[in-house]
Amino acid sequence: MSDSKPKTMGQQLGRRSWAEPWKIKMVEPIRLKSKSDRQRALEEAGFNTFLLRSEDVYIDLLTDSGTSAMSDRQWSGMMLGDEAYAGSRNFFRLEHAIREFYGYEHVVPTHQGRGAEHLISQALISPGQYIPGNMYFTTTRLHQELAGGTFVDVIVDEAHDPASDFPFKGNVDLRKLEALIHEVGSEKIPYVSLAGTVNMAGGQPISMENVRSVRELCDRYDIRVYLDATRMAENCFIIQEREAGYSQTPIAQILKEFCGYTAGAWMSAKKDSLVNIGGWLAVNDADVFDQVRNMVVIYEGLHTYGGLAGRDMEALAIGVEESVDDDHIRTRVNQVRYLGNLLVAWDVPIVRPVGGHAVFLDAKRFFPHIPQDDFPAQTLAAELYLDSGVRSMERGIASAGRDSETGENRHPKLELTRLTIPRRVYTQAHMDVVAETVKSVFDNRDSFRGLEMVYEPKYLRFFQAKFKRI
Ligand SMILES: *Cc1c(COP(=O)(O)O)cnc(C)c1O
C-alpha cells in the first residue's frame, strides 16, 4: 500500500465522506484583492473588520447573520408576497410554521432579533431587577440594561475555559442560579434568559436535561424561562449527537421538546432560519402577548408584519421548515467541524469542542505575548484579513465593552476571534483556504504586536471602534 496517494478528509478520518444536500444553481463572483489593496483597506477601516467594505473581502466569515444562501423554494416564496398592510397571508404562514416547529402559541414578527429583544425586555423587566442567563450576548444584555435590569451570568464554569472538552458548555449552573434567587429574591427576577448554541462561549450547546432542570427550579420559585432560539436547531443537532436517548430522535422533535420547557422565545431568523432579514418573538402567555403586540406597533410595525415585507415572512416560514431538516443541519455543523479539525491537527489553539456555527480561535494562547488590553483577538482578525482577505470577528475585550456602573473595561476570560460559517454558502475548498490562512498567521505569530483603540463609540463599541498598530 502506498502512503503517497492523496487521501480525502473522510479517508484521513477513517470514515466515508459526507457532502452537502444541495447543488449550486447560481453563483456570485468573489475576488482576492492585492496585498497593498488589503493593507490600504485595513488601515482605512481602523483595523476593525466591521468597517471593511465587503468588496475588499475574499472569504467573508464575519458572521453567519443574514449571510445564508436561500433555497430555490425560498426564492420562489419571495414571489408570493402578500404586501397588504394588515393580515397578510404570509404572516399566517409564518405563525403556522412557528407554532408547528417551535410550539409557541402567540407570534409577533420583528425586523430582526434585537427588535424582539427590545420588546421582551421592555415588557417584562422593571428597573432594579436581575436577569440570569447562560452567558451574555451583546444585544440581549444591552436591551436588558436599557430596560433597567442587570444581567447575571449563571453559565457553568467550563464555559469560560476554552480548553475544557465538557460536552454541554452552554448549560446553566443550577447552584449559581439558585444562589442568585436566594440573594435577590425571586420577585426581583422577571425571567431566566436562556440561549442555545451559546455564541460568546464558542457556540456551545445546552442539554435537554439542563433545560428540564432549569424549568423545575424556576417552577419552584414561580419564575418564567424565556429562550433566545436564534441557533436552537444547531443546538438540537448536538443534543441528538451527544445526549443519551436522542440519537434516533429527529431534530424537529428535539426542538419542539426543548421549547416546551420555556414560556416563549425571541429569534434572529438571520441565523438558523436561512433568511437575509427577519426575526420574531413568540410567547405562550396571553398577557405578555397583549403587551408586546401593543408595543410592536410603536417600534416595528403592525403586529402582522413587524417591520418585514410579506415576501420576507414567506421566505422565513419556508426557512424555518428547512432549518430543522436533519440532512441540512448535519452538513452545516460538519462543515464547521471540518475547518476546526484541520486547525486542531495543526495545533492552532481553538475553543474545544468545535461549536455549532463557528470556529473560535483562542487569541490568548495564539498571541500569549500580547496583553488583553492590547486587543489580541482584534489583532488576529486584522492579520487574517491582511494575510489573504479572510474576514473574521473579534469576540473578546472589545466586544465585552465597559461595565455600565464603573465605566471600566470588562476583561472577559475568553478572548476569541470568530470564524463564522454562513449556511450553504462556501465549499470545502474555501474552508481549506481559510485554514491555511490561519496557519500562516500562526506560524508568524511572534512578529505581531497588539492594537490601541483610537475611537470608541458608547454603545456596542466593537461594531464601530477604530484602532491603530502599537
Ligand atoms: C444575532 C443574535 C441576536 C440579535 O439578532 P439580530 O438579528 O442581529 O438583531 C440575538 N441573540 C443571538 C444569540 C444572536 O446571535
User: What does the pLDDT look like over 202-237, one tens digit per residue?
Assistant: 899 999 999 999 999 999 999 999 999 999 999 999
Paired residues of 283 in beta bridges: 106, 264
> Which candidate, 292, 229, 214, 219, places its Cα nearest to that of 259?
229
Name residues whose C-beta falls within 8 Å of residue 33's C-beta, 6 or more positions apart in sequence: 41, 56, 58, 389
pLDDT of the residue at 317? 98
pLDDT of residue 128: 98
Which residue owns the Cα nearest ligand 1 atom 7? 113
> 310 vs 273, 299, 316, 423, CA distance in Å?
16, 18, 10, 23
Strands 466-469, 451-455: pairing kind: antiparallel
C-alpha cell at 161: 475555559
Is the CB–ligand 1 distance for residue 110 below 6 Å?
Answer: no
Helix/strand/coil percent split, the chain, to 5: 45, 15, 40
The count of C-alpha atoms lying within 13 angstroms of the C-alpha of 127, restricted to the half-sphere facing its C-beta, is: 1
How far away, in angstroms, is 257 Cα from ligand 1 center? 22
Residues (pLDDT < 70) of the chain are 1-4
Give the cell for residue 58.
475574499
Model pTM score: 0.93
Q: Specify the residue with its C-alpha closest to ligand 1, atom 13.
A: 230
Q: Which domains does the chain have, with CATH numbers?
A: 9-64+326-469 (3.90.1150.10), 72-323 (3.40.640.10)
Dist. CA 433 → ligand 1 center (Å): 28
The position carrying cell 465549499 is: 427
Among residues 47, 191, 338, 462, the one annotated as catalytic is: 462
User: Strands 224-228 and 264-268, how do they pair?
Assistant: parallel
pLDDT recorded at residue 18: 82
Distance 78 CA to ligand 1 centre (A): 23
The cell numbers describing 258, all together, are 426543548
* φ, ψ at 128 (rounded to 5°): 90, 0
Give burial (CB, 10 Å; 0-12/13-18/19+) of 85. Answer: exposed
> Is 395 in the active site?
yes
* pLDDT score, position 3: 58
> Of these residues, 91, 137, 168, 237, which one is catalytic?
137
Residue 87 burial (10 A CB sphere; 0-12, 13-18, 19+): exposed
What integer pLDDT is reported at residue 7 of this predicted model?
81
Q: What is the pLDDT of residues 103-159, one digit of tens each?
A: 999 999 999 999 999 999 999 999 999 999 999 999 999 999 999 999 999 999 999
- What's the CA angle centered on 288, arms 284 and 292, to 5 degrees? 115
The reported pLDDT for the residue numbered 1 is: 46
Q: Which one of the listed residues 141, 215, 270, 271 is annotated catalytic? A: 271
**Residue 407 CB coordination number (10 Å):** 7
Grid coordinates representing 166 are 465538557
Question: Is 462 annotated in the active site?
Answer: yes
Indicate the top mutation candidate among 271, 272, 312, 462 to test ligand 1's pocket, ranked by most ligand atoms within 8 A of CB.
Answer: 271
Per-residue pLDDT tens over the stretch 380-399: 999 999 999 999 999 999 99
Distance 138 CA to ligand 1 centre (A): 8
Tell me the C-alpha distance between 113 and 316, whole Å: 13
Which residue from 313, 286, 258 is spatially nearest to 112, judged by alpha carbons?
A: 313
Cβ–ligand 1 distance for 418 under 6 Å, the answer no
